[in-house]
Amino acid sequence: MLSYFVEQSVNALSLGGTYALLALGLAVVYSILGLINFAHGALMTLTGYVLVFAAAQGLPFVAAAPLAALVVMAGAVLLERVAFRPVRKASGATMLLTSFAVAVLLQLAFQLFISTRPQIVALPSFLTSTVAIGGIAIGANRLMSVAVTVLVLIALNQFLRRTIIGLAMRAAAEDFDVTRLMGIRANRVIATAFALSGLLSAVAAILWIAQRSSVDPMMGLIPVLKAFIAATIGGLGSLLGAVLGGLLLGIIEIYLAAYLPEAALPFHDAITLGIVILVLVARPHGLIAPRRERAR
């Protein structure tokens, strides 16, 4: 029983960590622009295809993963430049619709130019093996997922505290106009936010794929919906909230799947969302409600 619990706990942290990274990616952009970027899921999917493409060129996974992250970061910055910057001063609804449009366009492009069928992503053997800890066998991919999440969170925290552009991003989330009064270029802050969100979506995608070894045009859709839920529980726009919300959602999902009686399993998602609703009834602005004066 204990070993089952430990195993499920690692799974919960692994899934929760991935949700946390995705929710952070959404929150970084939302905190500054007030935009929920639903195209975030398409960036995840793009990561998967870069991995497939790189493997086809004979690149090993350890080289393909950073390459994918770089490509997706550049893609996110490009997306901001061509799709979101022209509507930056428009209403929140316009930006939201733009992000849906981008998400659908990218998904169609993946279907048309690649394939509607899942593509196999070959994983290195160190990810498909299991590690025995105290007699309990745990998937290396799960452990890597937890470790990578922790490392990324530490690095992000340092970036937001130690660099001027990181400070500027936190400042812009609170008061965008005054951030510009510091002589910091608005476009630079926003481009950095998109680059960061691209990086976070790429890392999350790699962790996601490490559990599934395939990518299809719809891959990013569900995880990003979950990340949106996570960011909402956490408090939209709060980075700490996004991490807490992501972890909480992952933990709820995994423990429910592990411990619900068989007859209740079909209601797994309904119960998860029910708990989410209860959290929001108790705390309508989420676990951590941020304050802000956004870019317009």
Footprint of other proteins (CB under 8 A): 161, 164, 167-168, 170-171, 174-175, 177-186, 291
Strands 136-139 and 119-120: unpaired
State which residue, 13 or 190, has the beta carbon closest to other proteins: 190
Q: Which is nearer to other proteins, 118 or 166 (CB)?
A: 166
Length, in residues, of the chain: 296
User: Helix 92-113 to helix 40-56 angle, to the nearest 10 degrees?
Assistant: 20
Q: Are 79 and 39 in contact (CB under 8 A)?
A: yes
Taking the complex as a whole, how short is the minimal distance between the CB of residue 186 and other proteins, in angstroms? 7
For residue 236, the minimal CB distance to other proteins (Å) is 16
Residue 284 C-beta: closest distance to other proteins, Å: 21
> CA dist 86 to 52, 90, 153, 204, 295, Å?
32, 9, 31, 28, 14
Kindly tell me which of 182 and 225 has the beta carbon lying closer to other proteins.
Answer: 182
**8 or 174: CB nearest other proteins:** 174
Q: How far is the CB of 296 from other proteins (least distance, A)?
A: 11
- Closer residue to other proteins, CB minimum distance, 67 or 289: 289
> Strand, helix or coil at 215?
strand
Q: How far apart are CA 236 and CA 241, in angstroms?
A: 8
User: Which is nearest to 197 in space by CA: 14, 39, 3, 1?
Assistant: 39
Q: DSSP 3-state assignment of 139?
A: strand
User: From the CB of residue 285, how many other CB atoms can be counted at a distance below 10 Å?
Assistant: 14
Q: Which is nearer to other proteins, 199 or 239 (CB)?
A: 239
Angle, CA of 284, 288 and 183, to the nearest 5°: 120
Spatial distance between the Cα atoms of 8 and 43, rounded to a whole number of angstroms = 29
**Smallest distance from other proteins to CB 237, Å:** 12
Q: Cα–Cα distance between 114 and 155 in angstroms, integer?
A: 34
The C-alpha atoms of residue 76 and residue 176 are separated, in whole angstroms, by: 21
CB of 130 to other proteins, least distance (A): 42
Residue 165 beta carbon to other proteins: minimum distance, rounded to whole angstroms: 9
Which CB sits closer to other proteins, 31 or 98? 31
